[in-house]
Structure 1
Amino acid sequence: MADYRSYADQQLLTLLKKGDERAFAEIYERFWGVLLRYAQRMLHDEEECRDVLQNTFVKLWEKSPKLSPDTQLSAYLYTLVRNQVLNVIAKDKLKADHLTDLTSYMDNAVPEADQLARTHQLHQLIEEEVGSMPEKMRQVFELSRNQQLSHKEIAVKMNISVFTVKNHITNALKRIRLHLGL
């Protein structure tokens, strides 16, 4: 029985290309620690680093039959780890960006909904007060605000003076302000 610990990296790679599981186990034992430290320098999260190494060795096993015999094993493994780390960083950045976008949306959406509710409530209070006004005052106010008629147009339409129109609008606005507590 051969002692795989004495084999050079290139010998282990040749055996790995043929599907030798013991060669894979030796490569794993030989490189796990140094690759873990390499990943930790970039990620700082032990669990993510272990996942990166797991994926690295899975890729090594899957791609080993296609590797060139001239492949430098250690350089290839370091490249796999670096690429896996970059993938993790990209995914984390995407998650962070998504979270930032979602937080920003929620920060903006809640005030909009709150503002909408307040506007609706304010509109109801105004309508309530307008409904309780004397008939002529209410008609003048509604023609002014709802139909955007000028003072002169309202005066002609209702057969009253422009001065009376101004007085009705002034008194209507005072009543609304008083009702709203302004």
Structure 2
Amino acid sequence: MSTYKSLTDLEIFVLMQEGDKFAFEEIYERFNGLLYIYACKMVSNREDARDIVQEIFVYLWSNPNIQIKTQLSSYLYTAVRYKVFDWLDKNKSRSNYLQSLTDFAEKGDYVTDNYIREREFASLIEKEVSLLPPKMRLIFEMSRQQHLTQKQIAEILQLSDKTVKKQMSNALKVLRLKLTSFLLLAVIVLIR
């Protein structure tokens, strides 16, 4: 339907939540290919990548009460990333994933598209956040993903404002250190 093509992602998403099948089909058309390419970058098996993306769309259609606080595209890319991490955990193939990244870097098959690099960096950040200690990670995610203030987080978790502030500060220090190392490594690889 050509009328759907002119709608924004948010408008089409609202129609889909109201049960509009054509709106869902438009979302599928807009994002299926991009999400599949994104999943293929993280999963070597194309069928697995296709299954991961299909699971995201099934979930999207089956749960009309999803609340999206960012853009629809950000939500979908994040959903794919989390689904890939689940897949990696289930298949115990992290070493294969790391090997494929190593092969990718050694072959010099660099992707110059800024959008893809930005997404990969966002994925790295998500991975590093997932490695934070549980309490620190929870506070960090409440602040960055749910956009809660330190005071709100302190009230919800029944902690002092000072504790929340210290945990946030520690999380940012850890992430800065790890991500700085990654960026230095990336620059060294690019210089070669």
Q: Which has the higher contact order (CA 8 A, sep 6+)?
A: 1
TM-score, normalised via structure 2 length = 0.46
Q: Which has the higher helix share?
A: 1
Q: Please, what TM-score do these two structures have when normalized by structure 1?
A: 0.48
